[in-house]
Chains A and B, each alone.
Chain A
């Protein structure tokens, strides 16, 4: 029987198998950040265990960093301490760190791919659930807890039971105005937030084949929102082109050899998946969420379902929405374009292209938060910043920002925020904040109109 992309990469990294137990999986790259690593460093230090492979670890500061005045000392004492501790730990252990202000600093899942750290066929872990993003390269990448961060520190390995395989195929042509974010929100709305639990997902079909790397990252990023530990897309010419020439990408002959290997990775024709879903691209529209988990999404033309159960009712009460109503026309005061889902240059190009020549509505506070210093530089270089400035949008400095509201970037109590991030949980963007997940295009349009509109009407 043939092997899946996931099987090939997984099997190539198995060091050993415990009888009736998990396997020891070798980890090529370990990404760390300030929030989930300190306790792991402490644990190793207490147990007097050295870091096994510091060269395979890369650190960045992103979750807890301010997005204005990054050159000034951080005001919040606890946040400052967390960053200081990261620096100390990295220096002490010879770990590469792109700290706040460094030209390569950024959200861990934006920074690593753009530096060519992420490559096909690798295993990558990080103490962050959206590590699934890197799967866009045909990489096994997944989030781990802090105890596992300590395990990888100690041994560059993890004890894991091989997950089951799931494939989501989307064929056809996407409609005008339908972006990768809509594709993944659509999939999650159809299969639910735990359809993927226990599985690793592969996305297949011409919709993904025709997608840019940025788009593929947006899709794989949200695999965790359907419960899957990770998602993958087979590496192809688009992948190789993206990786080529990046800072840590293999060069010259080595690159060619790698490409030859990477070409062997796609799923064999006769491989069998444990579970499969098929969708038609033509059925997808711009998507919005109306509830408090990413599975509670509808197409722009649809109405909030009339479902009745306690959790559903609780979610609608939190959002202050009614069953059977449309979201079109809802006044919105906050718009956030950012997070590891949608903060790459392509996302800002899409937003700028829509915003150009228009003005932000007066009632809206619109935050644009690039995923990395490199994206920020590109925004300026390509002249997008002046479009944003002219339209009244606020371009901030890179970081996770209002995606998880650990810093000051919080949406106030009771306010709605149309957000390009990945989680609409209660309080995720600030206590009592109400998040509506959407694509960067829908977010830009909301900021201009001051309310939710049916973008397809404008485009057609």
Chain B
């Protein structure tokens, strides 16, 4: 009886700690995942706008669109990491997308994808969660956007 009672607090506590670990994982890891997702989406929004604003129906415009995306200083993971493997594609109609379009004269839209944003999971993996979480984002912009007027 006595020896049975001795371990009770420890066992109860370890079960509670495991649950707590799961809650910590939800708060800490999912918090970071949501922030990364948000940062990636805003980056691709800006990048697509930057690319589309450079399109002028010439191959030079397409090269400039790529450079405009590369020049954006935005970062992710709480503003600490650069975006890598960013894909810029172009399209005349929003249906057929090409990385390197042969006919630049008809290109009117740009699509930017940031596919490599891998958030490492810290706590959730201890209770059976994944080791990492990828939060890709993409955005499309046209070279003739709707503008606000005063």
**Do A and B belong to a common assembly?**
no
Q: Contact residues of A with B, CB < 8 Å?
A: none
Q: Contact residues of B with A, CB < 8 Å?
A: none
